[in-house]
Amino acid sequence: MDFFPVFFSLKGRPCLVVGGGSVAARKISLLEKAGAEITVVSPDVCDEVQRKLDHGEIHFESRHFEESDLDNVLLVIAATNDRSVNEKISRSAQARNIPVNVVDNPDLCSFVVPSILDRSPVMVAVSTGGASPVLARQLRSRLEAIIPAAYGRLAAMVESFREQVKQRFDNKARRHFWEEVLSGPVAEMVLSGHDKEARERLQEMVDTADSSAPLGEVYLVGAGPGDPDLLTFKALRLMQQADMIIYDRLVSHAILNMARRDAELVYVGKAKDNHSLPQDQINQLLVDLAKQGKRVCRLKGGDPFIFGRGGEEIDQLAQAGVNFQVVPGITAASGCASYSGIPLTHRDYAQSVIFITGHLKDGTLNINWQPLVQENQTIVFYMGLTAINEIRTQLIKHGMDKDMPAALIEQGTTRNQHVHRGTISTLPDIVNESDVRAPTLIIIGKVVELRDKLDWYEPAKHTQNTEFSKHKN
Ligand code: SAH
């Protein structure tokens, strides 16, 4: 973070603008909106600034900048077209710890002026840290489209009820109350211009709401295979309203960053054979937290019901009478297939696909191999790295062509995705030679050849920085 975002109160506080051109005029307008007490210093001014001087309550000095202009100033904006003057202002201001902005010159700034979406009292500020003001403006336009002007009125209405609500509810109940108000009919009414009805409805809600702490619940949420863009809207919404996020190894940092800012994050494992919290204790933890009234998001890689032990977790929740919801996620097979150019089914190559776990139980693989080896069928192994030798031997023994195309997809859908292409015979060597680590998915079948026919652009390379730590399976 190069710049720390804050919102300054400038009401009645002395601010200095050096310069009198159209750039200065824009900054003066902004400072006027914030109610600052403005002084402009410039030997000459353009018409626009002159109009402001004529109409506004602006103090004006018709001369060059002097060191003493900085006395008692809360912040300064340098908007002259003379670089050496701008540099001097920047140096002097910084020597006195006065925040300084030199327009279009990030090197000389101790603060940058963001692109602003003003829905007072709601304020959205976008900054690229000076890297690209145009990009910041474009982002602001997009936000403009999704944050209607009525949000300002909504915020003002909420503010006028704040004290009442504070008296009536304790901390946690209060947050739940406001979440319900802001995502329910009251907000809709304001957004559609029915402010009076919204106010009445909100008053009714305050008067009749149950002010006791709400019951907790658990959201069992699939976080997808890695790329945060593969989260569902529902997953994101629940992550943002949960008090706690209980996550495991397959959930990337980029995804965790999207949780509610003050949510508590708890890591519960697990790398294979290194369960940081045994499954039964995870189950119990979810029950306990919900009973304390917490809204708990149990975040799992991929889909919670595909090799995710989601079934065991909800079983215990149901027995304990805890409310829960399950949110599906994109499973590793879908994610890895799409991001590596391997369609899992294809009219000419595979009419069926099997998802199977290669996880060893007590050191052995307990698999019925014969049904796996079928014409025109794709096999996807989850957790298959440790047993790769056994998988290869058994498939060939049960009749699979030893040159059957196969692929290992390591850290699929993340920026570190690596696709290792081979055949069923060569997989174990690839694992050893390329030091392939978990999470890795194995896809076996003729569909793997299709990747070679496509000029694949590897979408994973364009995803956000999604880190998984490397583990030996
Ligand atoms: N519930 C998860 C699977 C959990 S089992 C899902 O639906 O995807 C863990 C296994 O999933 C890993 O050993 C690996 O085989 C596979 N896996 C999960 N995420 C992966 C990824 N990003 N890339 C490759 N394989 C992945």
Other CB atoms within a 10 A radius of the CB of residue 86 amount to 22
- Catalytic, 229? Answer no
Question: What residue segments make up the domains of the chain, in order of their start?
Answer: 14-113, 150-208, 217-330, 333-467
Q: What does pTM read for this prediction?
A: 0.69
Say yes or no: CB of residue 226 within 6 Å of ligand 1: yes
333-467 classified as CATH 3.30.1360.70: no
Q: Which CATH class is domain 217-330?
A: alpha beta
Say yes or no: CB of residue 411 within 6 Å of ligand 1: yes
- Ligand 1 atom closest to Cα of 226? 22
Mutate to test the pocket of ligand 1, among 279, 307, 391 (most ligand atoms within 8 A of CB): 307
Q: Which value, to the nearest 10 degrees, does the dihedral of the CA atoms of residues 93, 96, 99, 105 take?
A: 30
Mutate to test the pocket of ligand 1, among 307, 326, 380, 382 (most ligand atoms within 8 A of CB): 382
Fold: same for 14-113 and 333-467: no
User: Is the distance from CB of 86 to CB of 65 less than 8 angstroms?
Assistant: no
- Catalytic, 270? Answer yes
Written as tens digits, the pLDDT of the chain (473 aa) is 888 999 999 999 999 999 999 999 999 999 999 999 999 999 999 999 999 999 878 999 999 999 999 999 999 999 999 999 999 999 999 999 999 999 988 899 999 888 888 888 999 999 988 788 889 888 988 888 788 888 899 999 999 999 999 998 888 788 888 888 887 788 888 888 889 999 999 999 888 877 666 678 899 999 999 999 999 988 998 898 888 999 988 998 899 999 988 899 999 986 555 557 888 899 999 999 998 888 899 999 999 999 998 888 999 999 999 989 999 999 999 999 999 999 999 999 999 999 999 998 777 888 999 999 999 999 999 999 999 999 999 999 999 999 999 999 999 999 999 999 999 999 999 999 999 999 999 999 999 999 888 766 666 666 665 556 444 44
> Residue 260 C-alpha to ligand 1 middle, in angstroms?
25
Give dist(CA 9, CA 74) in Å, integer: 10
H helices within 347-460, ranges in order? Answer: 388-397, 427-433, 448-453
By CB atoms closer than 10 A (0-12, 13-18, 19+), residue 199 is: middle
User: Is the distance from CB of 392 to CB of 422 less than 8 angstroms?
Assistant: no
Say yes or no: CB of residue 332 within 6 Å of ligand 1: yes
Give dist(CA 238, CA 344) in Å, integer: 30
Give dist(CA 129, CA 111) in Å, integer: 9
- The residue ranges of DSSP E strands in 42-194, in sequence order, are 59-61, 75-78, 100-102, 115-119, 122-126
> Residue 223 C-alpha to ligand 1 middle, in angstroms?
11
Q: What residues contact 280, with CB distance under 8 A and at least 6 apart? A: none
Give dist(CA 186, CA 199) in Å, integer: 8
> Residue 439 C-alpha to ligand 1 middle, in angstroms?
6
Q: Write out pLDDT tens, residues 51-110.
A: 999 987 899 999 999 999 999 999 999 999 999 999 999 999 999 999 999 998 889 999
Taking each helix axis from N to C terminus, what angle separates 171-183 and 195-208, rounded to the nearest 10 degrees?
150
Give dist(CA 397, CA 351) in Å, integer: 23
What is the sign, positive or negative, of the torsion defined by CA atoms of 401, 402, 403, 409? positive
Give, using CA atoms, the residue closest to atom 2 of ligand 1: 302
Q: What residues contact 187, with CB distance under 8 A and at least 6 apart? A: 154, 181, 198
Q: Are strands 75-78 and 59-61 parallel, antiparallel or unpaired?
A: unpaired
Which CATH superfamily, name and number, covers 14-113? NAD(P)-binding Rossmann-like Domain (3.40.50.720)
